[in-house]
Structure formats: structure tokens, C-alpha cells
Amino acid sequence: MAMDCCAPIRPLFTHKLSLSKTCKPQVIGSSVVFSSTRTTPLLVSSFSGKLEPLFHKPISSSGCKLRLIAKVGDRADYSTGKEETNSLDSEVDSEEEFSWSSVILPFVFPAIGGLLFGYDIGATSGATLSLQSPELSGTSWFNISAVQLGLVVSGSLYGALLGSLLVYPIADFLGRRRELIIAAVLYALGSLTTAYCPDLGILLAGRLLYGLGIGLAMHGAPLYIAETCPSRIRGTLISLKELFIVLGILLGYLVGSLQINTIGGWRYMYGFSAPVALLMGLGMSILPPSPRWLLLRAVQGKAPSEDSKEQAIVALSKLRGRPPGDKLSEKQIEETFLSLKSAYSEQESEGSIWEVFQGPSLKAFIIGGGLVLFQQITGQPSVLYYAGPILQNAGFAAASDATRVSVVIGVFKLLMTWVAVLKVDDLGRRPLLIGGVSGIAVSLLLLSAYYKFLDGFPIVAVGALLLYVGCYQISFGPISWLMVSEIFPLRTRGKGISLAVLTNFGSNAIVTFAFSPLKELLGADNLFLLFGAIALLSLLFVTLQVPETKGLSLEEIESKILK
């Protein structure tokens, strides 16, 4: 809102006091703000420089600053400002206007990267049953060992791990858009290689290629969405990205269910993702780059400032569905650029690799990295990738029966993710995390009890799986990636998220690969008991370490929480 200098501010008293050196005015939006070390708080009566005392007698303030926030044409509002973390910007900042139609495409095409990740999880659940079947595999090498099966299942995760390592030093150079286009190409190549492989070695190579796409997509997608969407719907959109992962899992379960009785059905299950990857690549090619990334490059001195600002204005106009180079976008880009330049003028132009392990970035990594680590080591990849075999052990002996029940679990997972999407910007991150992780612990202990002494009640296994899936989808599933995308400072955001993704896929690959051998060594009952104990530990971590970021802009998270 533009400031109307003719609009009066109504004084409460008539005694006037001249402006002194100890009282410095600031104009923020439509407000005038004074910070004073005086013991008498002040009220501005007009823009003439005259001030009114709020009280006739001095007030003991114990040395704390007394601040006035006087909105034009309205009564003044006073706060004692004892904590420097109370941002004036958040008190006077108006919410950005946007239309939902303009944010759909910048969300959907990056989110397809998550859908293809989820599809791999769902398709692998059915593909492992098809690949090992003497009648259905369509190969002469169907009799693979537990270690070979672990490599097939976790091959894409090792690729994701490698992709995270490769993108770590070049993420800020590539940019979010180009990173997602490359991810789409890798998805397509990996899918086609796996579908047409003649032997186990080529199958593993295809799984590795597909995984490289996962690593780049799961790094670039939350970054692009977080940096291009309006702040007040950031939680909703990044949670919706998790919904796309779940849609992918459900789609994988459905394709697996349809192809489970087809000879060589696992080839169709893996090959189906190629045309979807093509759609993702074409979609990202028509989207603009992230305006924040363009400005960051300028602040780092790696691109001319004026050119970067012009490109950022055009990009923001396109992202918000406005006319090219409109005044509102120009104003927003200029304010963001000045904010970035001011914030980092006294620091190195770009966060170094090791800076992620220092100061605010280290705190962010402990929060984000801790969440994605516990997301995996509480058994998530094992429960999802091995849903089919678990259900077979629970009494659904036929592969077709197990895949059908997997579809039911996928639908339930989708519904619970929608609950998280609706509530994450309402209830906040912490309540959903604490409630969901508590349910995860209970479900894992129930699975352990089923394998120990309740094996005559298959409903317990199915119920525990549903409880696990539901609680995971309102907690670790969407909120871990949401926190990772918003918690890191801008200077180290690219490298910090790379490291968090690396942590996620590293732990995911280890847990997924080790599940079959550990199951043989410890037994399913003790393995799920171990996962349950880790879930209780993760609940303690969430309670003690994870802050609430609901309603805060990326800049406010950095200034209020990390510093």
C-alpha cells in the first residue's frame, strides 16, 4: 500500500516534544516507527517531526527499547520490543496478492519429479514379486539372492545418493530449473534402460540412472517451489509435493496390480515412468527460472545486477500471471534485491561448502538433516518397498492379493497426505510431527508384536501398516521436506539442501538394502522392534530440536529462528 503523506495520525495528547537524536524514525510501508532509549514513549502526531508523549510521567523500562508502530490514518500501537527477534517487517508486512491459477504450473511440473520418485517406490513393491517368480519374470535369472534383491530395490536410492553428491557443488551454478530438466532426462533414460534390460547388470545400471534423476529432482523441486511460491501458501504447496509422491506410489501400486500376472510384467512397471518424465521435462522448459536464484547470482557477483534484476522481474511477472515487467513485480524484486544485498554485504558473496557446518547453517542442518535421517531410519523405505512381501506373510499369499491390498494402502496414504496439506499451515509443523511420530512408534511396535506372538491375526499386520502409513503422511512424509526447503539461510540453501538430500538418500539406501539381510539375521519381530525404538528417539528429537515455522517468510525464519 502506498503511503499517503497527507493522512494524519491522531494524537492522544497535546503536549509536544521535539524530535531528539535518541529517537530515530523509520518508515515501513504505511507505518512510521520510532525506537527510543528514553523512558517516555512517544507518539507521532503528523509527518512534521513533532512527537507526543504517551504518559506525563517517566516509565521505568529497565533499559529496554520502547518502540512505536504508528499506522497512517489510525491509532498508534505500542510494544516494548524486549526481544530483538520481534521483526517489525512481520508486523506491518501485507500479504502478497496472487491468483491460484498462476501458481499451478510452477508447482505441478517440479512436483512431477516427486511423483516419479513415489512411482518407483510403488512399482518396485510389485516388480520384486514379478522379477522373482519362475512363471512371471520372463527371465532365466529370476532366482536372485537376498543381496541381489536388495541391490535391485535400493539401486535407485544409490543413484539418488550419487546424484545428491554430484549436485552438491554445482547446485547454485545450475539453477533450480535446469536441474529439474536434467532430472527429467535421467528419469526417462533410467526407465527405458530398466524396461529393456537383457540381464541383471543392465537392470542395476538402469536403476542407478533413474536414481540420479531422483537425486536431482528431490533437491531441485522443493527449492524451486519454495523460492517461487507466495510465502503464505508455501507450507501447503510443499506438502502438496508430498501428495504427488504419494500419488506416484499409488500409481505404482496400480500399475503393479494390473501387470502382476503378465509375463515380464516388471518391465512394464518400470517402463511406464518414461512418458511421465518427458512431460516433466517439457513442462520445466516453459517455466521461468527462480527469481530468488537470479538475484542470488547477482549478489554473489556472478551475474550483472541490472540484467539479473530485469530477468527476475520478468520471471516473477510470469509466475504471478501479471503483465511482463509490471510495476508490482518490479517493486518486489527491487525490495528483495536490496534486502539480499544488505544482508550479505558484510559477508562472503557465497556460502562455502564448510559453512553449512557453522553457525546458523549448522543449526539448520541439525534440524533439517535430523528430520530426513529419522524419516528413513524409522523404517519408512522398508515398510513401503516391502509392503507386498509383508502382506504375503500376513496371509495374502497370492501376489495379486498382496498387490491389491497395497493399492488400498496407497489410497489411504493419499487421503492422510491430504489431511496434512489442509492442516500444515493451520495447526503448524510441530503438532503434526509430534502426533504423527508417536503413531509411527506405536505401529512399529504392533508389527513387532504381530511377528512375535500375534501371527494368527493378520488384521493386526494390516492395521499396523495403515497406522504407520497414516501417521507417516501427516508427519515425516510432508513436513521433513517442507522444513528442509525453508530452514536453511539463503547463502547456504542450495548446498544445505543438497546435504540434507544426501543424508536422506544415504540412510534410505542403507536401510532398504539392509532390510532383507537383517530380517534373516534378526527376524522380522526384532527388526521392527528396533525401528520402534528409533521412532521413540526421533520423537525426543522433534520435541527438543524442531521449531515452529508456520506463517514465517524465508527471511524471517533466518532472522528469528536461526540467529
Residues 193-250 pLDDT 10s: 999 998 888 999 999 999 999 989 988 888 888 888 777 777 778 777 778 888 898 8
What average pLDDT does range 100-111 have in this prediction?
A: 84
Q: Taking a C-beta distance cutoff of 8 angstroms, is the pair 451, 528 a contact? A: yes
Task: Give pLDDT, residue 60.
Answer: 39
What average pLDDT does range 430-453 have in this prediction?
A: 90
Per-residue pLDDT band for 353 (boundaries 50, 70, 90) equals low
Task: Check whether 365 has a pLDDT greater than 80.
Answer: yes
Task: Check whether 53 has a pLDDT greater than 70.
Answer: no
Per-residue pLDDT band for 98 (boundaries 50, 70, 90) equals low
Q: Which three cell numbers stand for residue 235?
A: 507450507
Instruction: Work out the widest C-alpha separation in the chain, in whole angstroms.
Output: 96
What average pLDDT does range 27-52 have in this prediction?
A: 39
Cα separations in angstroms, 55 against 58, 77, 313: 7, 14, 47
Per-residue pLDDT band for 171 (boundaries 50, 70, 90) equals confident
Task: Give pLDDT, residue 359.
Answer: 76
Per-residue pLDDT band for 143 (boundaries 50, 70, 90) equals confident
Least confident interval from 166-170, 235-239, 404-408, 426-430: 404-408
Contacts of 230 (CB under 8 A, 6+ apart): 95, 96, 98, 103
What average pLDDT does range 136-152 have in this prediction?
A: 82
Per-residue pLDDT band for 539 (boundaries 50, 70, 90) equals very high
Task: Check whether 44 has a pLDDT greater than 90.
Answer: no
Task: Check whether 49 has a pLDDT greater than 50.
Answer: no
What average pLDDT does range 388-396 have in this prediction?
A: 64
Task: Give pLDDT, residue 274.
Answer: 95
Task: Give pLDDT, residue 88.
Answer: 31
Task: Give pLDDT, residue 425.
Answer: 75
Task: Give pLDDT, residue 153.
Answer: 83
Per-residue pLDDT band for 386 (boundaries 50, 70, 90) equals low
Task: Check whether 183 has a pLDDT greater than 90.
Answer: yes
Sign of the C-alpha dihedral computed for residues 457, 460, 461 and 463 taken in this order: positive
What average pLDDT does range 532-540 have in this prediction?
A: 93
Task: Check whether 546 has a pLDDT greater than 90.
Answer: no
- Most confident region among 360-369, 404-413, 514-523, 532-541 by mean pLDDT: 532-541
For all residues of the chain together, what is the average pLDDT?
75
Full DSSP string of 349-414: SS--TGGGGSHHHHHHHHHHHHHHHHHHHTTHHHHHHTHHHHHHHTT--SHHHHHHHHHHHHHHHH
What average pLDDT does range 519-535 have in this prediction?
A: 85
Q: Which three cell numbers stand for residue 196?
A: 529393456
Of 525 and 439, more confident: 439
Q: Any idea which residue has 546458523 for its cell?
A: 360
Closest by CA to 90, choosing from 428, 551, 483, is: 551
Contacts of 65 (CB under 8 A, 6+ apart): 35, 36, 37, 80, 81
Task: Give pLDDT, residue 437.
Answer: 93
Cα 99 to its chain centre, rounded Å, is 22
Q: What is the pLDDT of residues 298-324, one digit of tens each?
A: 887 777 888 888 888 888 888 887 887
Task: Check whether 147 has a pLDDT greater than 70.
Answer: yes
Of 533 and 63, more confident: 533
Of 379 and 91, more confident: 379
Q: Taking a C-beta distance cutoff of 8 angstroms, is the pair 194, 280 a contact? A: no
Which amino acid does the sequence have at 524? A
Least confident interval from 82-96, 444-458, 526-540: 82-96
Task: Check whether 351 has a pLDDT greater than 60.
Answer: no
Per-residue pLDDT band for 39 (boundaries 50, 70, 90) equals very low
Domains of the chain: 98-290 (1.20.1250.20), 302-347 (no CATH), 350-562 (1.20.1250.20)
Least confident interval from 254-263, 351-360, 430-439, 465-474: 351-360
Per-residue pLDDT band for 525 (boundaries 50, 70, 90) equals confident
Contacts of 500 (CB under 8 A, 6+ apart): 365, 368, 369, 372, 484
Task: Check whether 283 has a pLDDT greater than 60.
Answer: yes
Residue 213's SS3 state is helix
Of 179 and 326, more confident: 179
Task: Give pLDDT, residue 398.
Answer: 57
Cα 561 to its chain centre, rounded Å, is 17
Task: Check whether 73 has a pLDDT greater than 70.
Answer: no
Q: Taking a C-beta distance cutoff of 8 angstroms, is the pair 334, 291 a contact? A: no
Task: Check whether 9 has a pLDDT greater than 70.
Answer: no
SS3 letters for 415-432?
HHHHHHHHHCCCCCHHHH
Distance CA(187)–CA(180), nearest Å, equals: 10
Task: Give pLDDT, residue 515.
Answer: 75
Q: Taking a C-beta distance cutoff of 8 angstroms, is the pair 81, 54 a contact? A: no
Task: Check whether 340 has a pLDDT greater than 60.
Answer: yes
Task: Give pLDDT, residue 293.
Answer: 84
Backbone angles phi, psi at 105, to 5 degrees: -65, -40
Q: Taking a C-beta distance cutoff of 8 angstroms, is the pair 113, 183 a contact? A: yes
| High-pLDDT (> 90) share of the chain, % | 16
Is the pTM here over 0.85, yes or no? no
Per-residue pLDDT band for 409 (boundaries 50, 70, 90) equals confident
CA angle 214, 218, 224 (to 5 degrees): 135
Q: Taking a C-beta distance cutoff of 8 angstroms, is the pair 300, 349 a contact? A: yes
Backbone angles phi, psi at 419, to 5 degrees: -60, -45
Q: Any idea which residue has 512527537 for its cell?
A: 51
Q: Taking a C-beta distance cutoff of 8 angstroms, is the pair 386, 515 a contact? A: yes
Task: Give pLDDT, residue 391.
Answer: 67
What average pLDDT does range 365-375 have in this prediction?
A: 88
Of 120 and 72, more confident: 120
What average pLDDT does range 264-289 have in this prediction?
A: 93
Closest by CA to 385, choosing from 152, 184, 140, is: 152
